[in-house]
Each structure stands twice: as structure tokens, then as C-alpha cells.
């Protein structure tokens, strides 16, 4: 359960991040502030650390020099007495070790300088009890392999039992014994416990201040962006309601700032759009009513003219040649005019939303063959051969067979009209989700951009080109409306000199969603465009 809820929570968080400009502004501001605070804090810590260490180095070097000076004084005072070599070493190191135990530092004594058998590693050194002599860096020991001035370096101070390992400073200084004028080296090891505690305290203080500062920045940014985002969100909600058709919605205007002026301009724009939309709706309603009324009113006189035309057409053999030809032309134009009225009435039904489906299982293979039979005479007049490329099995779709036949007939008629020569091929295919018919011609084709315009009412690719099929210019528009009524796709492809292809795709079940078509829109025999 937790594994399933985690992706859902991540998805909700990503959705909130994409949609909330306020969250993005706050997070971006906090991240940038955190970056600045981190840089400033790191700089302050570095400065504090260097200041503490510089002060500590100065103090320990001075203390080491004082201890060395006191040792030299004691040795000079004892030089007049009878003291052997070992006694002078004890007089040198033991008082320093005693003071170091009370003041918190350790001491290592090595020498004499130049004697390779008396190095720290050779156990010839004297040192504070419990101190691991490896705490003295080898680099500093090499520095004092001969007579040298006071020097210091950083180190890690360790104990022999392994219980202590802490940072420190080691200062080296040299002393000459009066007994044999040999030079010995004293190493003073000072821990940095106080400096480390001080630096930790400063770090905690800076971290606490940074967290509080970032929380303050986040809160202030949230409040500031809220003052800007809230009116924008209100404007978005009002815009959504306007888009849904609630044209009376308006923004509440308060104040005189830029946001208030924006709300005023938005309300003015909404009022203007409301007026224009209502005007367009009224104009569209009047236009649809006009087309419908004119189409209905023309049917009565057309019927009378049709009857007179039929009489003249039947008696054309008794007329002189010119009058007989006129009677034939009258009959052709009456047929075209009647077709135009039928198409206009069908368009008016689509515009009024009165078109309905009478759905049943339709075999698109049978539809393709029936349309070929219907258009065989027209194809013969044009010298075009119409063939069907269909599988042996049925390609079923739940559709209105009358409307599907009209769509395919319009596509085939259009292909014959533009084929000029060659074949018109009807490809039929189906799968588990959809069925499709593609009508391919090898005529003049379509110029770039025309494939999106061929379904416009009364649009023609070449206005100067004569129509041989008697079309009205509404066939493809009606076909597109019929396709939308089925929830299908009607798409066009064309290329100049390579012909065109129109593809009708219908869902297997009425109301089903289409995701793909079993036939490609671009024909497989189409040549690649020349660059």
C-alpha cells in the first residue's frame, strides 16, 4: 500500500509545483537565500577560525619562548654548582613538565642536536607522562636537526593509551646545556580545545541564525507573493467561468493599484467579448435560419421548374438542335441545383444540432464496393479506374451506414474529379479498436497548407478548374460533420504532383475513443519531398 501511495504523492507534489507560481517563487527565494547565507556563513567561520588560530599561535609561541627563557636562566644559575649532565637535563625539563601539567600543555625534550642516536623515535627523549611522542611532526623534527630558531606548526596531540586525539599547536625551541655546551630541543604541545569549543559555539549560533533567517525569508516571500498571486487566481477562475459560457462573470475591483487597474481592464475586455459573442451568436442564428428558410422555400418553385424541365427534356428530340441542347443543359443544372439544396438543408441540420445517428454494425469492405458501383459511370466518363484494396475478412464499425456511404462517396467523387488519369484506390483495414477507409488518387495533389482547408465550405483548391462531377463545394464539409458525429477522424494528405489521400477512421464501438488508425495517413508509395 505504501509503495502505491508514494508515486501518487510524488505526482501530486509535481502537479502542485507546476501549477503554483507562489510555491516556485518561495522555494526559489529560499534556495537563493540559503546559498547566500551559506557563502556568508562560511566566510565568517573562516575569518573567525583564522582569527582564533592566529591569536592562539601568538599566545603559545610567546609562552613557549617564556618557558625557554626561564629554562636558560635556571641553567645559568646552576652552572656555578657541581651538576653533572643528567642533573642539568632534569633541571631543564622537570619544572617545565610540572608547569605544563597545570597550564594544560605537554613537553618533549630531545638532543643533543647532531646526535643521530638521540631522536624521538630512538626513545632518547624525555616527555610529559602519557604523551605519544609521535604527536611531534617529523617535518618539525627535521627542522631542528641542527641549530635553528623557534618554529611552530599544527599537529594532532595523541596519548599513549589512545584515549585522546585532538588538534593542537607544537612549538619548537632550543636550549644549550652549560655542562657540555650541547644544544637540546624543547617541543611544547598546546591543545586547541578552547578554540574548538569557541568555533563550535559560533557555528551553532550562525546555523541557528541562518535557519531563523530562512524561515523569515520564506514567510515574507509567501506573504508578498500571496498579495500578487491571489488576484491572479481570482482572474483565472473568472476566465474559466467565462470560457464555460458564464459571460456575466466579472472581477471584483478594490483599490487603485496596478492589480486593480488590471481587474478593470479585464472586466472591460469581458464586457466587450460578451457583446461581440452575443452579436455573433445572433448573426449565426439569423444566418442558419436564413439558409434553412431559403432552402425550404426554394423547394416548391424548384419542383415546378423540375416538372417543366422534365417535360422539355423528354420532348428535346422534337426541337431544333439548339433548343434540344438547351433542354439538356437545363436538366443538368436542375440536378445540380437540387443537390445543392439537399446539401444546404443537411448543413442547416448540423448547425442546428438536429443530426442524429442510426447506428448499426457496418462492414466497411461492403461499403467500399457499393460506392465503387455507384461511381463507376462517373469514373468511366473521366477515364479513371476505381479499385478496392481490402482484406478478405470484414472490417466492422458501429456506425450509420447511410452517412458512412455518403462520406466515402464524397471522397471517391472528389478523387475522381481530381485524378485526371490513373487509378483511384480504396484501402480498407481494421483492428480491435477501429476501422478505416483511405481513398488514394494520383492527380494534381495539394499544396502545403491546403490539407487543413479542403474541409471548409465552398473551398476549392483551384477556382479556375472546372468541376466535372457537378459538386456543390459542400461535400467534404458534410463528410467532416458526419465523421465528427461518429466520433471519428477525417484527415487529408496531399503533395503537388503526387496526388492526395483522404483517410476516414471510425471507432469499432460508437462513442469509443480513437488512439490510432489501422491505415497510415501518408501513403506508402509517396516519394520523399525534395529539399
* pLDDT tens string 451-504: 778 877 776 655 544 444 445 567 788 788 888 888 899 999 988 888 889 999
Q: What is the pLDDT, as a whole number, of residue 378?
A: 85
pLDDT at 110 over 70: yes
Considering the chain, tell me which residue range(s) the CATH 3.30.450.20 domain(s) occupy: 81-197
Give the pLDDT confidence score for residue 210 in this predicted structure: 92
* Residue spans in the chain of domains classed CATH 1.10.287.130: 250-355
Q: Which residue has cell 477562475?
A: 237
**Can you say whether the dihedral through the CA atoms of 209, 213, 219, 220 is positive or negative?**
positive
Q: How far apart are CA 246 and CA 133, in angstroms?
A: 89
- 0.75 surpassed by pTM: no
Instruction: Report the alpha-carbon angle 428-432-435, nearest 5.
Output: 25
102: exposed, middle or buried (Cβ count in 10 Å: 0-12, 13-18, 19+): exposed
> pLDDT grade, residue 247 (50/70/90)?
confident
Specify the pLDDT at position 201. 93
CB atoms within 10 A of CB 253: 15
C-alpha–C-alpha distance, residues 158 and 165, integer Å: 4
According to the model, what pLDDT value does residue 466 have?
46
Q: What is the CATH number of domain 360-507?
A: 3.30.565.10
What was the pLDDT predicted at 354? 61
What cell numbers appear for 413 in the block?
A: 467523387
Instruction: Give yes or no for a contact between 480 and 407, defined as CB atoms under 8 angstroms apart.
Output: no
Is the link from the previous residue into 398 a cis peptide, with omega within 30 of 0? no
HSE-CB at 14 with a 13 A cutoff on CA atoms is 6
The average pLDDT across 36-58 equals 92
Query: Which pLDDT tens digit goes with each residue over 121-179?
Result: 666 678 888 888 888 898 888 888 888 899 999 999 888 887 778 899 999 998 887 76
Burial of 119 (0-12, 13-18, 19+ CB in 10 A): middle
> Rounded CA gap, 461 and 476, in Å?
13
In the sheet that holds 499-507, the strands lie side by side as 385-389, 423-430, 434-441, 499-507, 489-495
| Neighbouring residues of 268: CB distance < 8 A, sequence distance ≥ 6 | none
pLDDT in tens, 406-435: 889 889 988 888 877 678 999 999 988 899
- The pLDDT value given to residue 289: 73
pLDDT at 464: 47
Q: What are all long-range contacts of 375-382, with beta carbons under 8 Å and residues at least 24 apart?
A: 375/409, 375/412, 375/413, 375/416, 378/413, 378/416, 378/469, 379/416, 379/424, 381/468, 382/416, 382/417, 382/419, 382/468
CATH assignment of 81-197? 3.30.450.20
Confidence of residue 44 (pLDDT cuts 50, 70, 90): very high
The pLDDT assigned to 462 comes to 55
Average pLDDT, the chain: 82
CATH 3.30.565.10 domain extents, the chain:
360-507
Which of 34-48, 257-271, 448-462 has the least mean pLDDT?
Answer: 448-462
CA distance 291 to 284: 10
Measured CA to CA, the distance from residue 235 to residue 286 in angstroms comes to 33
DSSP bridge partners of 361: 398
pLDDT band at 325 (very low <50, low <70, confident <90, very high): confident
- What is each CA distance from 227 to 258, 260, 281, 435, in whole angstroms? 12, 12, 38, 55
Q: Given this model, what pLDDT does residue 1 score?
A: 47
Judge whether residue 59 has pLDDT over 80: yes
Q: Characterize 454-483 residue by residue with b for buried, 16 or more Cβ atoms within 10 angstroms of its Cβ, and e for exposed.
A: bbeeeeeeeeeeeeebebbebbbbbbbbbb
d(CA 90, CA 126): 9
Which stretch of 70-84, 273-287, 360-374, 470-484 has the lowest confidence by average pLDDT? 70-84
Residue 192 has pLDDT above 60, yes or no: yes
Q: Which fold has domain 250-355?
A: Helix Hairpins (1.10.287)
> For residue 358, which of 413, 404, 399, 315 has the smallest C-alpha distance?
399
Q: Count CB atoms within 10 A of the CB of residue 446.
A: 22
pLDDT of 214 reads 92
pLDDT at 331 over 70: yes
The whole-number pLDDT of residue 180 equals 66
Helices (H), 388-474: 401-419
Amino acid at each position: 500500500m505504501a509503495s502505491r501511495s508514494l508515486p501518487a504523492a510524488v505526482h501530486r507534489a509535481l502537479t502542485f509545483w507546476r501549477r503554483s507560481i507562489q510555491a516556485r517563487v518561495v522555494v526559489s527565494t529560499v534556495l537563493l537565500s540559503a546559498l547566500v547565507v551559506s557563502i556568508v556563513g562560511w566566510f565568517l567561520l573562516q575569518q573567525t577560525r583564522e582569527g582564533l588560530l592566529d591569536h592562539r599561535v601568538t599566545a603559545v609561541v610567546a609562552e613557549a619562548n617564556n618557558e625557554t627563557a626561564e629554562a636558560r636562566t635556571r641553567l645559568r644559575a646552576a652552572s656555578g654548582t657541581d651538576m653533572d649532565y643528567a642533573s642539568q637535563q632534569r633541571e631543564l625539563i622537570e619544572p617545565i613538565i610540572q608547569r605544563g601539567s597545570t597550564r594544560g600543555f605537554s613537553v618533549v625534550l630531545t638532543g643533543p642536536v647532531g646526535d643521530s642516536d638521540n631522536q624521538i623515535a630512538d626513545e632518547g627523549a624525555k616527555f610529559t607522562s602519557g604523551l605519544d611522542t609521535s604527536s611531534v611532526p617529523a617535518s618539525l623534527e627535521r627542522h631542528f636537526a641542527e641549530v635553528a630558531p623557534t618554529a611552530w606548526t599544527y599537529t594532532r596531540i595523541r596519548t599513549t593509551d589512545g584515549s585522546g586525539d585532538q588538534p593542537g599547536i607544537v612549538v619548537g625551541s632550543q636550549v644549550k646545556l652549560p655542562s657540555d655546551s650541547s644544544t637540546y630541543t624543547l617541543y611544547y604541545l598546546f591543545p586547541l580545545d578552547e578554540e574548538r569549543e569557541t568555533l563550535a559555539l559560533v557555528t551553532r549560533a550562525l546555523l541557528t541564525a541562518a535557519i531563523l533567517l530562512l524561515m523569515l525569508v520564506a514567510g515574507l516571500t509567501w506573504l508578498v507573493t500571496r498579495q500578487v498571486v491571489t488576484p491572479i487566481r481570482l482572474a483565472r477562475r473568472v476566465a474559466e467561468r467565462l470560457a464555460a459560457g458564464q459571460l456575466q462573470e466579472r472581477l471584483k475591483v478594490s483599490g487603485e493599484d496596478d492589480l486593480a487597474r488590471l481587474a478593470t481592464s479585464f472586466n472591460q475586455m469581458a464586457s466587450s467579448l460578451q457583446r461581440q459573442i452575443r452579436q455573433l451568436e445572433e448573426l449565426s442564428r439569423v444566418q442558419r435560419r436564413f439558409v434553412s428558410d431559403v432552402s425550404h422555400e426554394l423547394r416548391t418553385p424548384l419542383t415546378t421548374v423540375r416538372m417543366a424541365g422534365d417535360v422539355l427534356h423528354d420532348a428535346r428530340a422534337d426541337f431544333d438542335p439548339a433548343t434540344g441542347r438547351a433542354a439538356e443543359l437545363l436538366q443538368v443544372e436542375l440536378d445540380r441545383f437540387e443537390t445543392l439544396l439537399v446539401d444546404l438543408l443537411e448543413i442547416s441540420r448540423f448547425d442546428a444540432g438536429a443530426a442524429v445517428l442510426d447506428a448499426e454494425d457496418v462492414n466497411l469492405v461492403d461499403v467500399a464496393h457499393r460506392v465503387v458501383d455507384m461511381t463507376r459511370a462517373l469514373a468511366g466518363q473521366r477515364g479513371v479506374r476505381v479499385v478496392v484494396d481490402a482484406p478478405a475478412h470484414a472490417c466492422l464499425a458501429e456506425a450509420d451506414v447511410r452517412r458512412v456511404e455518403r462520406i466515402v462517396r464524397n471522397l471517391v467523387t472528389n478523387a475522381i474529379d481530381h485524378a485526371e488519369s490513373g487509378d483511384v484506390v480504396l484501402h480498407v483495414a481494421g483492428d480491435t479498436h477501429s476501422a478505416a477507409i483511405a481513398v488514394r488518387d494520383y492527380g494534381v495533389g495539394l499544396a502545403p497548407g491546403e490539407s487543413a482547408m479542403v474541409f471548409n465550405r465552398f473551398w476549392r483548391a483551384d477556382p479556375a478548374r472546372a468541376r466535372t462531377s457537378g459538386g456543390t463545394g459542400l461535400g467534404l464539409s458534410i463528410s467532416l460533420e458526419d465523421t465528427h458525429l461518429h466520433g471519428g477522424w477525417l484527415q487529408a494528405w496531399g503533395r503537388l504532383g503526387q496526388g492526395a489521400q483522404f483517410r476516414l477512421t471510425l471507432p469499432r464501438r460508437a462513442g469509443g475513443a480513437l488512439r490510432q488508425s489501422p491505415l497510415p495517413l501518408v501513403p506508402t508509395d509517396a516519394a520523399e519531398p525534395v529539399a
